[in-house]
Amino acid sequence: MIEVKGLKKSFEVENPKKLSEQEKKDPRLKGRYFHSVESVSFTCDKGTVLGLLGPNGAGKTTTLRMLSTALKPEQGSLVIDGEDVLKKPVEARKRIGFLSGSTGLYGRLTGRENIAYFGQLHGMDKNAIKQRIDELAELLDLHTFLDRRSENFSTGMKQKTAIARAVVHNPAVVILDEPTTGLDIMAAQTVLDFIRHLKTLSTPVVFSTHHLDEVAELCDKVCVIHQGNSVFEDDLAAFSALGEGVLSHSFLKTIKQEA
User: For 38-58, how does the pLDDT look when each residue is reduced to its tens digit (9 = 90+)?
Assistant: 999 999 999 999 999 999 889
Q: Residue 119 is part of a domain; what is its CATH number?
A: 3.40.50.300
DSSP count for the chain of H helices, then E strands: 10, 11
Give the number of domains in the chain: 1
Residue 144 has pLDDT above 80, yes or no: yes
Closest to 112 in 3D by CA, of 133, 141, 91: 133
Q: Give the integer Cα–Cα distance in Å for 195 and 69.
A: 22
Q: Specify the pLDDT at position 142.
A: 94
User: For 110-124, how does the pLDDT look when each residue is reduced to its tens digit (9 = 90+)?
Assistant: 999 999 999 999 999
Residue 19 has pLDDT above 80, yes or no: no
Q: Specify the pLDDT at position 259.
A: 47
Q: Specify the pLDDT at position 258.
A: 54
What percent of the chain shows pLDDT beyond 70? 98
Q: Give the integer Cα–Cα distance in Å for 65 and 223.
A: 16
Most distant CA pair in the chain, distance:
55
User: For 173-188, how does the pLDDT look when each residue is reduced to its tens digit (9 = 90+)?
Assistant: 999 999 998 888 988 9
| Boundaries of domain holding 78 | 2-258
